[in-house]
Structure 1
Amino acid sequence: MAGKDWLASRRAEVAADRILDAAGELFAGHDVASVGMNDIARAAGCSRATLYRYFENRDALHTAYVHREAYRLHEQMTVLISEIADPRERLLAGLTSAMGMVRESPALSSWFAATGSPIGAEMAEQSEVIQALTSGFLLSLRPDDPGAVHRRARWLVRILTSLLIFPGRDAADERAMLEEFVVPLVCPSETDSAVSASGLPTDRDSSA
């Protein structure tokens, strides 16, 4: 009985992945909001009844697709930055590589098209999986209060989705913005932390 249950579960997983793969191909060539369940069923080669057996509505399918891709990107990003020891450099490399992978994927970049509905930003903001992955990434840089990490993760997701929808002039421009405005707040150096704790003004405060 256990073996049969396992096989049934595996078949369901394969079928769901096939549907999500078909949806991804449609997302690559169309505005995500315009892709309907009928379109996905046809692309997957299944009936509407079969499609709804795995995903009760389009929101459920969107959520499943985004979560699957989020796990995949997180895994790839982790491998790419695994050899970087410095936490601030790891943060910067992680952010830039994650945005690069989204932009290189036609299926994912379509979620952040400035001409379409902001469905990608909405999904990222509402997704507990994306928030958890981002929080885990920040905790891997250095231990910190979980509440503070969660708040930083929410803010960081918003920053990244903003850049995906409204990119900088080029990769160097975006890197400079992240390095100046994001890295010091998300992963402050020991000097920054000591100055902040002492209440002494920073160079930027003094110049102001």
Structure 2
Amino acid sequence: MEPTVEDLILDAATEELRDYGLRRTNVDNVARRAGLSRATVYRRFESKNALVQAALVRESYRFFSGIVAEIGPLPTARERLVEGFVVGLRYVRTDALLTRLLVSDPEELLPYMTLRAGGVIAAASEFLVAQYREAGGPELSGGRDPRVLAELLVRLAISFTLNPTSVLGLEDDESVRAFATVYLAPLMA
């Protein structure tokens, strides 16, 4: 299956972001890398901001797909939550694009992870809810909504991404697993 024009643009945008960071990425270079005209890019994405948002949302889907590949065989929603948090933090710490943007353009990345993060938060939350339901997650007590739990987990992950320094001591998989078991898994009760 041939990539769509949108795929070509988003692939090029992701490569530009990985190579040059947020500040130095521009629509002209994305268009050139995609082998398309600038006008074609602007027909699909009204601004650089919209293009970056779309690229980050797509990367978040890839990110979560990678997590699912590792935790999919786990039988319970609780196990998936704990191991998903472990794998997710590990991926965040090693992802080439995110690492590049955190090092080179933290002040440029911050709005995309906070004020402009609506699309990423929504996509990630929907993904987590789907995983919860697929794993046969139990009804949450008190009529709590799994979408709220998912959003809470996404926002927590963003916080750890933006500022990994913590008294929690989440330096390795075992410490992350212990944290998730004690503090996050009970949220599903």
Question: How would you bin the TM-score normalised by the shorter chain?
Answer: 0.7 to 0.9
Letter of the aligned partner of 1:71 in structure 2?
Answer: Y
Inter-partner Cα distance in structure 2 for 1:147 and 1:59: 35
The count of aligned residue pairs is 177
1:184 positional shift: 1.6
Counterpart among 69, 72, 80 of residue 82 in structure 1: 72
Inter-partner Cα distance in structure 2 for 1:124 and 1:92: 28
Q: Please, what is the CA RMSD of the aligned residues?
A: 2.9
C-alpha distance 123-47 of structure 1, shift in aligned 2 (>3 A): farther
Structure 2 residue 29 is matched with structure 1 residue 39: yes
Q: Tell me what 1:52 maps to.
A: 42
1:52 positional shift: 0.7
**What are the superposed Cα offsets for residues 98-132 of structure 1, whole Å, 9 maximum, x if unpaired?**
33334333123345559613144227841232221
Confirm or deny: 8 A CA contact 2:26 2:48 kept in the other structure: yes
Structure 2 residue 118 is matched with structure 1 residue 126: yes
- Please list every run of 5 or more consecutive structure 1 residues that lacks an aligned counterpart in the other structure: 1-9, 189-208
1:19 positional shift: 1.6
Counterpart among 78, 82, 85 of residue 95 in structure 1: 85
Larger displacement relative to structure 2 (135-144 or 106-115) = 106-115
Q: Tell me what 1:194 maps to.
A: none
Q: Which has the higher contact order (CA 8 A, sep 6+)?
A: 2
Confirm or deny: 8 A CA contact 2:23 2:105 kept in the other structure: no
Identity %: 27
Inter-partner Cα distance in structure 2 for 1:114 and 1:47: 28
Inter-partner Cα distance in structure 2 for 1:111 and 1:161: 14
Confirm or deny: 8 A CA contact 1:23 1:40 kept in the other structure: yes
Q: Tell me what 2:176 maps to.
A: 174
Counterpart among 157, 160, 163 of residue 157 in structure 2: 160
**What are the superposed Cα offsets for residues 10-69 of structure 1, whole Å, 9 maximum, x if unpaired?**
87x522212211111122133324422233223333332121122121232123212322
Inter-partner Cα distance in structure 2 for 1:155 and 1:70: 16
Inter-partner Cα distance in structure 2 for 1:80 and 1:89: 12
Confirm or deny: 8 A CA contact 1:111 1:119 kept in the other structure: no
| TM-score between the two structures when normalised by the length of structure 1 | 0.70
Counterpart among 9, 13, 27 of residue 19 in structure 1: 9
Counterpart among 129, 136, 139 of residue 130 in structure 2: 136
Confirm or deny: 8 A CA contact 1:125 1:157 kept in the other structure: no
Report the secondary structure of 2:145's partner residue: helix
Inter-partner Cα distance in structure 1 for 2:71 and 2:38: 42
Structure 2 residue 69 is matched with structure 1 residue 68: no
